[in-house]
Chain A
């Protein structure tokens, strides 16, 4: 265990340094607490030309001791309204599912968690989730219903939380 958790923290430190040196458009990332490399604070900027455009959404990524062999969990701390985000903020996308969750291999290989994923590739997946919700296996059923049947209501709710996120800055 000790060996793997050292491996995980080295890898996370390396990614932290890389992201500080070469920031990526669309989000910023850092540690919640400088003494703990397993808990990250990221701020995602609502992608342009989507309902979330202009919003600043905070999320916490929590990495397991055996990262990268298991995925982190990601939870929005800012208010969020999206079919693939649980009401408590947890993000539900397939690449964050532990690989063992799908013993039959029905999910495509490219959709499962694999150790090649980094903070950057995970956040980019979340940004892409914001621009194209998947309402087939929703985490927030109400939001999925709104998205499918009552798009105006959905837009209204999202616009309100975008404004709220700007005020919180």
Chain B
């Protein structure tokens, strides 16, 4: 195979791909991987905390309240300083009311009693300075606060919007009051506060990798990511920052959601439809007969009238000869075929959707091997280094291509008419090109001893195929932005 080939041997193996005219024109100076501007960053928890603190400090300065209260206002505005600016300077009173700040002035986080008082929770007496309030006039002892804060932390993120225990008071309980809490509760509060920054912000998301990953990804172009955006976490997991589903460019989040829901319910639905429903003979909509006679009228806009038993037009049943009672082999077969066809269609798309993922996983394993091989060959083996580099580029494209193709099948299931035709055309080209590339890349993987003299042309071809495949996928992705949108 590849190891036995050389430049002069045009008659076998991969030689077909050497012909320049079968390839899309290449500019050999171009980067092979598609150049996508990276508009997101991957952050560790410490980095998230640092950004959060900076943001709080900026807003505290802007709206002139202590940082603990600025954090409340920011959280109320989904951690967007822009939204804070908008709302605070257009209707400061309303924001203050929403988070429980006094209607004017600088809020106070903690006050202590100046006269002896009875704690309204445990009814014990306390001397001045021993009790605290959330800046309001409801003072409680340390032990009661500790219990109150503990119960709130136990409930989870509710502790971030905790108010004074007095039912008539809306004074917010902020971080400063947690000085009387147990250390563990203080730690958990800080953790909820950090998580809230990522989970409630519209531009961040924790990496949803099923293997568990502590990193977060932040979108950098504006306050909110508004369309499908695939990101790759440093852990290697690729996902859509908008919907957290696995990366699914170029297909939209909506299609993905619908398709996933369909997959999870399909087995049941299919059975149910087969057992209970028939399709309107005119518009194909599945119809359940819930009661009444056999005279069916499909719902708007179809309005087709037909007989539930024979699925024939209803009119002859009343005007012509009634023959519903006669068994007609052709009709029965036709009905079964109809149900079968609808299921077959779904299975066609499902099978391909699932198969591309399996291929991708295998390609990923191969790529891991390559990575370790690349690490193993030292800086001195320059040539091998470059060659493995070509293979890595090819595999990067294969992984991306498999993933994209997978999702175009989810799109395909819902597409019809001209869109379906266009999709099938682009998908076909991309898929054929990817299969060629994948097969060609595997030639090297499957050969035992690589003959590097013969290999030079192999790698040249591999690079071309990679570039060609990348182009096919990019034009397909572009179509999803325009004609297929």
Contact = CB atoms under 8 A, between A and B. Distances in A.
Contact of B151 (A10, A70, A105): A70
Contact of A100 (B120, B155, B167): B155
A11 interface: yes
Interface in B117-149: 120-123, 143-144, 147-148
A26 to B, nearest CB: 21
Nearest to A100: B155
Residue among A66, A103, A105, A114 with max Cβ neighbours from chain B (10 Å): A114
B167 A115 contact: no
B163 interface: yes
A114 B165 contact: yes
Given A99-B152, A99-B158, A4 B147 contact: yes
Given A69-B150, A69-B151, A100 B156 contact: yes
Contact of A114 (B123, B155, B158, B167): B167
A137 interface: no
Interface residues of A, number: 21
B147 A7 contact: yes
Contact of A103 (B120, B123, B157, B170): B157
A2 interface: no
Contacts of A116: 120-121, 165-167
A110 B168 contact: yes
B165 A66 contact: no
Nearest to A14: B123
B151 A103 contact: no
A99 B155 contact: yes
B152 A66 contact: no
A109 B122 contact: no
Interface string A1-13: 0001001001100
Interface string A57-90: 0000000001011100000000000000000000
B386 to A, nearest CB: 56
B168 to A, nearest CB: 6
B144 A115 contact: yes
B276 interface: no
Given A66-B151, A112-B167, A114-B167, A103 B158 contact: yes
A72 to B, nearest CB: 14
Contacts of A7: 122, 143, 147
B39 interface: no
Nearest to B157: A103
A69 B147 contact: yes
A109 B169 contact: yes
B151 A11 contact: no
Given A11-B122, A99-B155, A103-B158, A69 B170 contact: no
B280 to A, nearest CB: 38
Contacts of B147: 4, 7, 66, 68-69, 115
A66 B143 CA distance: 13
Interface in B186-224: none
Interface in A1-60: 4, 7, 10-11, 14
Nearest to A102: B158
Contacts of A70: 151
Contact of B165 (A4, A100, A103, A115): A115
B161 interface: yes
Contacts of B167: 109-112, 114, 116
Contacts of B150: 4, 69
B156 A69 contact: no
Given A70-B151, A114-B166, A105 B161 contact: yes
Interface of B: 120-123, 143-144, 147-148, 150-152, 155-158, 161, 163, 165-170
26 contacts: A4-B147, A7-B147, A10-B122, A11-B122, A11-B123, A66-B151, A68-B147, A69-B148, A69-B150, A69-B151, A99-B155, A100-B156, A100-B158, A103-B158, A105-B161, A109-B168, A109-B170, A114-B165, A114-B166, A115-B144, A115-B147, A115-B148, A115-B165, A116-B121, A116-B166, A116-B167
Interface of A: 4, 7, 10-11, 14, 66, 68-70, 98-100, 103, 105, 109-112, 114-116
Which 7 residue pairs across A and B have the least CB separation, nearest first? A69-B151, A100-B155, A110-B167, A114-B165, A115-B121, A69-B147, A115-B165
Given A99-B151, A115-B147, 19 more contacts: A7-B122, A7-B143, A10-B122, A11-B123, A66-B147, A68-B121, A69-B147, A70-B151, A98-B155, A99-B158, A100-B155, A103-B157, A109-B167, A109-B169, A114-B165, A114-B166, A115-B121, A115-B148, A115-B151
